[in-house]
Structure 1
């Protein structure tokens, strides 16, 4: 579900951006790209996930550490009715607690300097590009270029430098939200599948602290099957376009212009 998770993160980022004070294309697109990337992070607990394979031995080592920690946490905190499981995949990283804690950690990097924050943002962008393609990098660069053009500065070099400095300062204000939202959207996506997701851990439900939240049986789908590719991905793709700043207004204007033209032909 790597592509589906990244697309859902992209859509969530576009929807949440105005709620954290981001409204312009230059602000919204990088935020959504980071959210798309961090929507893949929970699957670091699976050795075959794209996030685990991204940087070869480095991310494989991180994945192994995450899996080991998740297994220990599961055994220490499982309730009397929790199933007999290794507690590795879809456990520790697939919780609201993990999303909040990592989001807070990312936000705290603002105190470490702008380059630490930039590293977190770029990591999200690289993860997103791995799942969705290089177009998302081009979209971020285009958004940055748009902000430079918007300054109206006669010296492009100075305008670019100023825009970069301003952008780095702004990233620190939203990177924590991007991480938390991306990871939580991943959990919600997994709750749509047959396996479900225990994202309310450690809240005990029916004797389980790792209770898998999921839809009613008729509404669940299996990952990697036709429903995901034929329905989920296209819907998220369309949503990811319509949620772009100004997209709905442009569509409305196109509809109005077409209606006027058709009326003139009749």
Structure 2
């Protein structure tokens, strides 16, 4: 899947999972979903042309090169007797549940190293999301963060205390956002013809890097009309409907429209 599709799927997954980790208000859900959208792009650090690899110029290009080298070595060390001949670089090491869980735990552990480290992880996810989806997502997160600070700043407390409370809250969910985004990326690639070996190192049919795919008639090519004309519109609609309070608002709008139409007849 293309970067925009991955980011949209991460956004939708973040909105859907947020209530399960105790996030219910817009001020909580939007930053979580934005981070999930951003980290849904992270696995493609193993591709030199991916947006994640080009995001910070030489810095992310160097990281991408290191990721590809590590993935290739890991593939050669762990491939099964029936695994195909491959460099093992793209859609391998970073496209696994193991990588998602590992990096999720690593992000969560940053809370012990200081709240600013947690903020750095969250901002990285936001920058990745904005690169794929546009600056609107930054504005949405800033608005949600501002609302959160206002709501947290009780009488007798200052803005600094409110910001510290907000950073503490981010530390509670940032690991989930990283792991969820990466896992959703793997699921998205499983919809394509190439598939994704996200169950590594579980051996399947003699392969430890077995590419999981949909049945052949349901697969589509990355960047095809199916992705642009079907998958993306579905994700956009879902991304709106999953926002907290969106469905009741739409229902009220529909009811008001029906009443207006009845009044005109």
TM-score after normalising by structure 2: 0.96
The alignment status of 1:32 with 2:37, answered yes or no, reads no
8 Å CA contact retained: 2:48, 2:65? yes
The alignment status of 1:165 with 2:158, answered yes or no, reads no
Matched residues in 2 for 1:209 and 1:253: separation? 52
SS of alignment partner, residue 83 of structure 2? coil
The alignment status of 1:65 with 2:66, answered yes or no, reads yes
Matched residues in 1 for 2:158 and 2:255: separation? 37
List per-residue Cα deviations over 1:159-187 (Å, max 9, x = no partner).
64343222101000000000000000000
Give the match for residue 148 of structure 2.
147
Alignment of 1:17-96 (within 5 A): 17-96=18-97
Cα distance change, pair 109–255 in 1 and its aligned pair in 2 (3 A): same
List per-residue Cα deviations over 1:197-244 (Å, max 9, x = no partner).
000000000000000000011100001111111111111111111111
Alignment of 1:8-23 (within 5 A): 8-23=9-24
8 Å CA contact retained: 1:148, 1:159? no
Give the match for residue 181 of structure 1.
180
RMSD of equivalent CA atoms = 1.5
Give the match for residue 241 of structure 2.
242
8 Å CA contact retained: 2:11, 2:34? yes
Q: Unaligned 5+ residue runs, structure 1?
A: none
8 Å CA contact retained: 1:151, 1:159? no
Alignment of 1:114-129 (within 5 A): 114-129=115-130
The alignment status of 1:104 with 2:105, answered yes or no, reads yes
8 Å CA contact retained: 2:96, 2:198? yes
Q: CA deviation at 1:121?
A: 0.3
Cα distance change, pair 119–152 in 1 and its aligned pair in 2 (3 A): closer
Give the length in aligned residue pairs: 264
The alignment status of 1:227 with 2:226, answered yes or no, reads yes
